[in-house]
Amino acid sequence: MERPLTKHITIGGDPLNLAEYEKVGGYEACRKSLRTLTPDNILQLVKDSNLRGRGGAGFPTGLKWSSMPSSQNSPRPRYLIADADEMEPGAFKDRILMEGNPHQLIEGLIICAYTVDTEIGYIFIRSEYTLAAERIRKAIGEAYEKGYLGFNIFGSGFNFELRLHVSSGRYICGEGTALANSIEGNRAVPRHKVPRQTESGLWGMPTLLNNVETLCNIPHIINNGSIWFKNLSKCKDGGTKIFGVSGKVKKPGAWELPMGTTIREILEEHAGGMLDGLKFRGTLPGGASTDFLVEQHLDVPMDYDSVQKAGSRFGTGTMIVLDDHTCPVGMVHNLESFFARESCGWCTPCREGLPWTAKVLKAIEDGKGEPGDIEILEFHIRALGPGRTFCALAPGAMEPLRSALKFFREDFDAHIKEKRCPWS
């Protein structure tokens, strides 16, 4: 099985420096793109590869790139942003890519920048990712030294500046428009999506934002073609995916596997199954802001459409597993406290509703639940749903709660009835 993304990554070891990266074929795709391919060629290749965004929404990458306005008469500069603000609880896939092979990301960025004609790039990295930041900074330095960044890259006449922006640490910065506000030095609150960032993004200029993992795929598509890329996958979405598993499994971790690998295979073969004595109860398949899937869904292939059909979201593809000895109310409370803390405070339902949700869950967990609390939670699930709030944070936060009430309702009722947590 091919593992293009992680092939040159040694967990716990040092990443490849520029020379080593080039020795294993690094920057070949970049050289080829800038010297021999037109932006249209590359765009077509990316479109044909069926690569979908790895940040969570799964938007087709080629389509996103082609939504950048034409270079002619465009306001300048145009920006490219790598969203490396990996703050979704349970997700650590981008960290592996950045710590393990920073040049792969830089190469992807240069090709992307060339394709969509942007002259300035930002890597917006999560503040806790200090090691990744250090390695990227070093890699950017090497790339500049070698002339792979800056002016006239590979003699192609194409210029691209790349900067690393270390976040001050807020979950909402992973939201693309809040991220742009943050870079500008404004409060990290999301922006309205009309017009799109590709029209008016960072500093009001055309801006393209991609997830780190998405960008890391680009050099491999250039090198090996779109058919090869599609064939990596078990489903119609192209490529491999770094799947992660956390929770009480034998071997928590992350693995690069074909897109469309089933949950069962990931859990049992790669994560080694549940710890002895524990049974699987459910999983948040795409990170904290996705709906629980349970036993009956174990054979669902992990790809965007299949997970959605099963009633959840593919998200970042990094699962959090719930076992039968952990209180689901406690788990959901933990998640909602996180989301309540990370609300930016811009819109009412999210700012006020999430803390209320967390407080109700805490009360239930502490044995202070009251009749009517479930109705209050259900009210929040409606009031914090899509369209009601300004951005997707609160609707995402409601997903684990909604599905917990669906699958684990008896646990909530037991807490309220017995006035204690049955697991404590």
Partner 1 sequence: MATIFIDNAPYQVQDGQNLLSACLSLGFNIPYFCWHPAMHAVGACRMCAVKQFRDENDARGSIVMSCMTPAADGTRISIDDNDVREFRAGVIEFLMLNHPHDCPVCDEGGECHLQDMTVMSGHVYRRYRFKKRTYLNQNLGPFINHEMNRCIQCYRCVRFYRDYAGGRDFNVFGIHDRIYFGRCSDGTLENEFSGNLVEVCPTGVFTDKTLRKHYTRKWDMQTAPSICPHCGLGCNIIVGERYGSVRRILNRYNHEVNGYFLCDRGRFGYEFVNGDCRVRQPLVRHTSKSLDVSSLEPIEKKEVLQYLAKMMTSSERVIGLGSPRATLEANFSLRSLVGPENFYVGMSEPELKMVLQIIEILSNGPAYSPSLRDVEQCDAVLILGEDVTNIAPRLALSLRQSVRQKPMEIAERLKIPRWADAAVRQAVQSERGPLFILSPMATKLDDIATKTLLAPPDDIARLGFQIAHEINPEAQPVLDLSENLRELAVSIAAALKQASLPLVVSGTSCGSVPVINAAANVAWALCTQGKKTGLCYTVPECNSLGLGLMGGLNIRDCFEKIMTGSAGTLIILENDLYRRAEAQTIEAVLQKCKNVVVIDHILSRTAREADVVLPSGTFTETTGSLVNSEGRCQRQFRVIPPTGEVQEGHHWLLDIMTSIGRSDVNQISSLESVGELMAKEFPIFKPLVEIAPRADFREFGQKIPRQPHRYSGRTAMLADISVHEPKPPDDPESPLSFSMEGYQGIPPAPLIQRFWTPGWNSCQAVNKFQSEIDGPLVGGDPGRRLIGLLNGNELVFFSEIPQTYEPRDGEWLVVSISNIFGSEELSSLAPAISERVPEPYVGLNPEDANSLGKKDGEKLLLSINGISKSLPVRVITSLQPGIIALPIGLSGLEGIALPAWGKVLENRNG
Binding residues for partner 1 (CB under 8 A)? 75, 170, 187, 191-192, 194-195, 199-200, 203-204, 340-349, 351-356, 359, 363, 370, 372, 376, 379, 382-383, 387-390
Report the nearest approach of partner 1 to the CB of residue 361 (Å). 12
Tokens 């960025």 correspond to: 109
User: In the complex with partner 1, which residue's Cβ is closer, 267 or 361?
Assistant: 361
| Contact between 111 and 222 (Cβ < 8 Å) | yes
User: In the complex with partner 1, which residue's Cβ is closer, 77 or 273?
Assistant: 77
User: In the complex with partner 1, which residue's Cβ is closer, 281 or 380?
Assistant: 380
User: In the complex with partner 1, which residue's Cβ is closer, 144 or 379?
Assistant: 379
H runs (alpha helix) in 81-236: 93-100, 102-116, 130-146, 176-183, 212-231
Report the nearest approach of partner 1 to the CB of residue 231 (Å). 39
Report the nearest approach of partner 1 to the CB of residue 42 (Å). 26
Pairwise CA distance, residues 412 & 7, whole Å: 45
Task: Name the β-bridge partners of 246.
Answer: 320
Describe the strand order of the beta sheet including 158-166 as a list of residue ranges: 150-153, 158-166, 120-125, 79-84, 207-211
| Contact between 128 and 169 (Cβ < 8 Å) | yes
Report the nearest approach of partner 1 to the CB of residue 352 (Å). 4
Report the nearest approach of partner 1 to the CB of residue 379 (Å). 7
What are the C-alpha distances in Å from 142 to residues 21, 102, 212?
Answer: 11, 11, 19
Q: Which pair of structure tokens corresponds to residue 325?
A: 């000895």
Cis amide bond preceding 77, omega within 30: yes
User: In the complex with partner 1, which residue's Cβ is closer, 165 or 380?
Assistant: 380
Report the nearest approach of partner 1 to the CB of residue 149 (Å). 26
User: In the complex with partner 1, which residue's Cβ is closer, 254 or 394?
Assistant: 394
Cα torsion at 190, 196, 197, 198 (round to 10°)?
A: 170
H runs (alpha helix) in 149-302: 176-183, 212-231, 263-264
N- to C-terminal Cα separation, the chain? 44
| Contact between 331 and 382 (Cβ < 8 Å) | no
User: In the complex with partner 1, which residue's Cβ is closer, 382 or 406?
Assistant: 382
Integer Rg of the chain from CA: 22
Report the nearest approach of partner 1 to the CB of residue 177 (Å). 9
Report the nearest approach of partner 1 to the CB of residue 171 (Å). 10
User: In the complex with partner 1, which residue's Cβ is closer, 133 or 340?
Assistant: 340
